[in-house]
Structure 1
Amino acid sequence: MSHQVTPDSSARAMAAAVREGRISARELLELHLERIDRRNPELNAIVNLDVDRARAGAEAADRHQATGGRLGPLHGLPFAVKDTHATAGWRTTYGSRIFADHVPDEDELIVERVRRAGVVLIGKTNVPEFAAGSHTFNRLFGTTRNPHDPSRSAGGSSGGAAAALAAGMVPLADGSDMGGSLRNPASFCGVVGLRPSLGRVPEWPLYNLWETTSTGGPMARTVDDVALLLGVLAGPDPRTPLALGDPGPTFSRPLPAGTGALAGLRVALSVDLGGVFEVDHDVAAVVESSAATFAGAGARVAAAYPDLREADDTFRTLRAWHLQAKLGSLLAEHPGELKPSLTDNIRLGEGLSGADVARAYTQRTTIAERMRLFFEEYDVLALPVSQVPPFPADQEYPAEINGRVQATYLDWMRSAYLITVTGCPAISVPAGRTPAGLPVGVQLVAPHGADRRLLEVAAAFEAASVASGS
């Protein structure tokens, strides 16, 4: 067995080691199963683990390689799919007791693509019920805990994915993001999560193929590994009419090393978008310190932000409309089975009028135009991913920030979901820690369609942060 590969190695290094025969898929799986045995009982990140099926998959991958078969870019890498993504033949519950015994007949497109890329499936990653909310707990599997402090939340809805990554239980993870479901857990767990441009990672099947608030995306421990997975997830598909046309390999090339991408970069940095939301003082300090990281690598940093004053109403309206359309009939069939906060949002959607939805889309159009003009002056917007550090795992959401009461379980997520409304790509990159040692990410936002450029900037920021000891 190769001693050069560990569960904490990069996904690119693992894939290269398997491809070059320095480690087998079965040996790589066993390394990860040992880590899962050690960390998962406490963290509860991976659910529906099937060790026998995983070993059979790894052995099949090794046989395929031994007979000269074509190897995908993720050949032999252990992978756990987010439990909201339908996986053929594998229990998929959406974090709900209603679907406790549900086994889909076909893969979602995201799962199709990772399977085709050669992964070895091992299980699913835990989610909040129907991915609603940014703290991962449900009545079927329980709460996922933060690897850096198990008394704290791992975030959500891709909390199981982020915790599994941070603990070295998987090298890559898929996720999805409506109001921060990729970005918040990445920030909480000290990993990287990309919400790509709308249309970059197509999803199928969907109840509404024209729905444009949620998107799938990649997560990893480094920006370069996120690029690797984006190259698998991205690209057009004839079943998804809104998919962008750039082929996946456009994004998967290794990112340039060093900090060169920051030289001359025009960075707009804002802690609270002009007072639109409250930010924990420790989080604000980390985000503010990123200005020096950018400037030290040659970027030009200005205190600036786009006008997103309508974005809160826009997001909340479209979210409620989406949840009612998707889950309203399920709530009617199973009253009392959904968690109260989700039920309340579905009920809110029932009360919306056509004029409400039209207002939201009109506002979204205005915001998109403002963002286009904003990015004529700046290359990147930097702001908090989450307004708080990881909060206690026994809370559904933080009730206050800096002593100020948060009226609903969405208030503390504004820094993520206001960016959702813009349709722009946004990435969470580790930027520092609180005095208590909890991870804090900075959110970098680029113009719609500029995903590769955003990855290059994020990788350079990552390198500059490491160099500065952040």
Structure 2
Amino acid sequence: MGSQRKTNGLSHTAVPGQLCDLTASQARLLIGQGVISPVEILESCIARVEASNPSINAVVTKAYERARLEAVRAAQDVADGRPLGILHGLPILIKDLNETENIRTTYCSPLYEDHIPNADDTVVARLRQHGAIVFGKTNSPEFGIGSNTTNRVFGPTRNPFATDLTVGGSSGGAAAALSTHMAPIVNGSDSGASIRNPAAFCGIVGLRPTPGLVSSPERKVGMSTNGVEGPMARTVADVALLLAAMAKHDPRDMMSVPVEPKQFLTLKSVDASSLRVGFSEDLGFAPVDKIVRETFRRKLEIISPSLAVCEECDVQMTDAEEAYWGVRGLYLLAGHHARYKQHGQALDANLVWNIEDALHSTPLQYAEAFSAQTRIYRDFQSVFDKYDVLITPAVNVLPFPHAQSYPTTLEGRPARHYAEWYSITYAVSLVGHPAISLSAGLDPHGTPFGLQVIGTRFNDRRLLEVAQALELVLSSHAETRRPEPDVAALSS
């Protein structure tokens, strides 16, 4: 974005008309160089929220006053020549499932409509320590359950490309805010699809890291591949920048592993023509609509000449549906059963259904689910004996009306339950591999289409490097280039 110029041996990015249109990497460079002020970019982001948010309802709580004070201090730190954090001066929006000090945190539930925490949760505190400036909260389903971003407190978030359609979820407010340049970076969280499918539906980039890379002691079930915090942005480089601030070892998180976060600031350039890519339309089990399969094949046809290998991979994740449902059931029971006992039917219908379904499962069924998870994980490793990454569609379906809770039919037959439409992502959650959603242009209906790129466990840096190479290939073709919504129309 913008032209390049050289000053005193440093590469500077020319400032665009609207500072909120800068990528996070561009903005951080310019802040550090004193070319722009944290105050200026914050005000530009606030102006974009005020103009576009009424049309899409991505930001549900605003925290401008405190953010403005922090931006002034951040600007002074630059002027004084003080050490600057990885995210110094960058405005950030936080998902309304993360606790934020003195900023309303509702979990998008009527039960917590007026809840104001007295401290940040661990991940938010970490982002602040690296210099990010929190100026608002983004919409989610109630307690993040479900993948259509709507709730009884704030209502639906609307897709910036077609406001009658869903943004997916649960990090749907985050994805819509990024798509419309309300902020250069946002945080997300992902159990089954919650970073990846909203990223796909909104035309941005979202990473579900390897569980344990971004530690979070607040997780209710320590030894679980569910409930991963992760970065979302408009480019792979910005996702890597945010991951460098989010990743950290914390012994209080049972999944946490030693990590050097700064590795994500120095991604190596990868030649796309050296990449061996396997692809699967459905991972051998997921119901993927015909139009998604056809669009997926078309996108791969466009980029495959730029790759060393791009061939169909015989992935058979048989039993992934039943295994994930069992693993997920125990996870939700641990996190929400006490709340269900206290509030019952006052909770969102999706959560009530999940809890009651889990309660009716037997110990043997849970044992079989965990056994199947182990078997599926072991079999899945063979994919990476031959390929650098595995690519699938990022979602089983195209965006559907936000007034509809979920697609009731898949491949022409009735859906088994409300979550089956994102099974192609929760299968990857089951095995605990990192996966990134890359924008690949538009689908035949004119809304964004995404690719899920899957890498090897605890090799997130390599996945980001490969994703950056694929991003470059995708951006070189009009049909696969990342789309932008009509912000002027939304603002009007």
Sort the TM-score into its range (normalised by shorter chain).
Answer: over 0.9
Q: State how many pairs are aligned.
A: 466
User: Matched residues in 2 for 1:292 and 1:261: separation?
Assistant: 19
Counterpart position of 1:262:
272
Cα deviation, residue 220, structure 1: 0.5
Counterpart position of 1:150:
163
Asked if 1:302 corresponds to 2:311, the answer is yes
User: Matched residues in 1 for 2:221 and 2:171: separation?
Assistant: 22
Counterpart position of 1:58:
71
User: Matched residues in 2 for 1:3 and 1:440: separation?
Assistant: 27
More displaced stretch, 166-175 vs 401-410: 401-410
Cα deviation, residue 263, structure 1: 2.1
More displaced stretch, 111-120 vs 5-14: 5-14
Counterpart position of 1:345:
354
User: Matched residues in 1 for 2:435 and 2:218: separation?
Assistant: 24
Identity of aligned residues (%): 38
Contact 1:430/1:439 (CA < 8 Å) preserved in 2?
yes
Counterpart position of 1:226:
239
Partner SS state of residue 326, structure 1: helix
Counterpart position of 1:8:
21
User: Matched residues in 2 for 1:408 and 1:137: separation?
Assistant: 18
Task: Please report the TM-score for the alignment, with normalisation by the length of structure 2.
Answer: 0.91
Counterpart position of 1:272:
282
Counterpart position of 1:175:
188
Cα deviation, residue 55, structure 1: 1.2
Change (3 A) 1:424 1:466: same
Partner SS state of residue 341, structure 2: helix
TM-align CA RMSD: 1.7
Task: Please report the TM-score for the alignment, with normalisation by the length of structure 1.
Answer: 0.95
Q: Which amino acid aligns with 1:304?
A: C
Counterpart position of 2:9:
none
Asked if 1:235 corresponds to 2:238, the answer is no
- 1:119-134 equivalences under 5 Å are 119-134=132-147
Contact 1:322/1:349 (CA < 8 Å) preserved in 2?
no
Q: Which amino acid aligns with 2:166?
A: S
Which structure 2 segments of 5+ residues have no match?
A: 1-13, 481-492
Cα deviation, residue 232, structure 1: 0.9
Partner SS state of residue 263, structure 1: helix
User: Matched residues in 2 for 1:194 and 1:3: separation?
Assistant: 27
User: Matched residues in 2 for 1:366 and 1:379: separation?
Assistant: 22
Contact 2:213/2:247 (CA < 8 Å) preserved in 1?
yes
- 1:186-201 equivalences under 5 Å are 186-201=199-214
1:79 corresponds, among 76, 92, 107, to: 92
User: Matched residues in 1 for 2:226 and 2:440: separation?
Assistant: 26
Counterpart position of 2:456:
447
Contact 1:192/1:222 (CA < 8 Å) preserved in 2?
yes
User: Matched residues in 2 for 1:80 and 1:291: separation?
Assistant: 33
Cα deviation, residue 383, structure 1: 0.7
User: Matched residues in 2 for 1:465 and 1:68: separation?
Assistant: 39
Counterpart position of 1:292:
301
Contact 1:228/1:253 (CA < 8 Å) preserved in 2?
no
Counterpart position of 2:363:
354
2:112 corresponds, among 76, 92, 99, to: 99
Counterpart position of 1:32:
45
User: Matched residues in 1 for 2:366 and 2:137: separation?
Assistant: 34
